[in-house]
């Protein structure tokens, strides 16, 4: 691995904290038991799992029995949407989600439409904030679930989830929030957000990939998607990934412990980047709310150069800088323009040209200074394409 690499794509995934990697390695040797086995090796694994569940629960103000470990954020989001839909279909078959959700929510919602549910897709304003009036209009006596993410993965906007949760609670409608991009970055508490379900995962906060969790408030009915050995109170059958779960909990504890100082450090970095980019790149404009946002994310376009977004990403990559573009937050989507940038009012052409920088706990000021030098050079090689 090139040690001069500057990794600014922490919203896609993060470098695993070396302390966490070490703990995973040790626990894979020590706690290899199946937590469902009745012998001593299994019992030890079970005890470790119980402790990990309690530690994770306490970080989000939940009870241990309200945490279901999953294999990813994607799985937790699918379980929330489909599980609530199927368990509560007798009450109604209407679901509300925002248009800027991650694909794992949007595609699960579209799949539910094919199973006979109806879905309302809530618009957002130019800052990416969900339209509360549209939500109030969308509610019907058939609505069983609202899902709005806490922080958007492309533009970093923090959604008014507390208010949305309150509106749902008044109407006895379940509220789910995808908190993959907020957990460990800003405070997350299930009760204060009025959330009935919350999705979190490990690899966005310097933990391992392939581990997530769904908070399910006590009393909320969820139909399992995986049937088998009955693990996780029967809601998610599969032998639990104890080393991965321990790594998740450890990474989450570190992130939550360091949150305040990290927010201060990253906010200063964010302001510095904005100020420097404005001074060095003609026509730069920033996407997402300037105030209601996490400081870890910066999404920008260059006026007249939007068609060169992917080329800029490649030029940066050649120079050892990793960033995302508005069309390739996922390289699996065939280079479609970002649905999030279009939802905040950019046209499809502009929405291809967004560059996303996302900062993490290991991003240093030295890296940022070097990145800013590199980008001001690379931008000179771009040609306007209209």
Ligand X SMILES: Cc1ncc(COP(=O)(O)O)c(C=O)c1O
- What is the set of active-site residues? 329
- Closest approach of Cβ 70 to ligand X, in Å? 9
CB of 92 to ligand X, least distance (A): 25
- Least distance in angstroms from the C-beta of 331 to ligand X: 12
- Binding residues vs ligand X (CB under 6 A): 72-74, 77, 102, 104, 149, 153, 178, 180-181, 201, 203, 212
Nearest-approach distance from CB 296 to ligand X, in angstroms:
12
Which element (helix H / strand E) includes 278?
helix 259-280
CB nearer ligand X, residue 119 or residue 211: 211
Nearest CB to ligand X, comparing residues 201 and 287: 201
Packed helices 18-30 and 242-257: angle between N→C axes, nearest 10 degrees: 150
Q: Which is nearer to ligand X, 11 or 85 (CB)?
A: 11
| Helix H or strand E segment including 114 | helix 103-114
Q: Name the closest residue to ligand X (Cβ).
A: 73
Closer by beta carbon to ligand X, 153 or else 363:
153
Q: Which tokens is 326 given? A: 């508005």
* Least distance from ligand X to the Cβ atom of residue 152, Å: 7
Closer to ligand X at the Cβ: 48 or 151? 151
What the block records as the tokens of 268 is 């200063």
CA–CA distance, 70 with 236 (Å, rounded to integer): 7
Residue 18 is inside which H or E element, if any?
helix 18-30
Q: What are the strands, taking DSSP E only, across the chain? A: 6-7, 67-70, 94-98, 118-122, 143-147, 174-178, 197-201, 212-216, 284-287, 297-302, 321-322, 324-325, 355-358
Which among 148, 143, 78, 146 has a CA at the least distance from the CA of 117?
Answer: 143
């Amino acid at each position: 691995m090139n040690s001069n690499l500057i990794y600014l794509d922490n919203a896609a995934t993060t470098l695993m904290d070396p302390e966490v990697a070490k703990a995973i390695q040790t626990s894979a040797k020590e706690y290899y038991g199946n937590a469902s086995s009745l012998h001593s090796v299994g019992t030890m694994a079970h005890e470790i799992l119980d402790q990990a569940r309690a530690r994770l629960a306490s970080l989000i103000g939940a009870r241990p029995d309200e945490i279901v470990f999953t294999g990813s954020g994607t799985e937790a989001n699918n379980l929330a949407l489909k599980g609530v839909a199927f368990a509560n279909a007798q009450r109604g078959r209407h679901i509300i989600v925002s248009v800027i959700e991650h694909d794992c929510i949007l595609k699960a919602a579209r799949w539910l439409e094919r199973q006979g549910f109806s879905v309302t897709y809530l618009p957002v304003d130019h800052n990416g904030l969900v339209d509360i009036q549209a939500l109030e209009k969308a509610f019907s006596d058939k609505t069983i679930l609202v899902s709005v993410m806490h922080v958007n993965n492309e533009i970093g906007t923090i959604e008014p989830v507390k208010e949305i949760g309150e509106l749902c609670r008044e109407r006895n409608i379940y509220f789910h929030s995808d908190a993959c991009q907020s957990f460990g970055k800003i405070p997350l508490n299930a009760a204060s957000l009025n959330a009935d379900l919350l999705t979190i995962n490990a690899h966005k906060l310097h933990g391992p990939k392939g581990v997530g969790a769904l908070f399910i408030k006590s009393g909320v009915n969820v139909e399992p998607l995986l049937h088998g050995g009955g693990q996780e109170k029967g809601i998610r059958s599969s032998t639990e990934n104890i080393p991965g779960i321990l790594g998740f909990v450890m990474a989450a504890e570190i992130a939550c412990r360091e949150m305040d100082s990290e927010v201060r450090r990253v906010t200063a970095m964010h302001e510095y980047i904005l100020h420097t980019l404005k001074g060095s790149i003609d026509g730069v404009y920033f996407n997402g709310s300037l105030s209601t946002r996490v400081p870890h994310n910066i999404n920008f376009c260059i006026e007249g150069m939007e068609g060169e977004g992917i080329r800029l990403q490649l030029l940066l990559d050649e120079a050892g800088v990793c960033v995302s573009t508005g069309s390739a937050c996922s390289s699996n989507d065939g280079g479609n323009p970002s649905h999030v940038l279009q939802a905040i009012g950019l046209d499809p052409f502009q929405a291809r040209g967004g560059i996303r920088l996302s900062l993490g706990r290991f991003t240093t000021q030295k890296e940022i200074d070097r990145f800013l030098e590199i980008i001001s050079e690379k931008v000179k090689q771009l040609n306007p394409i209209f």
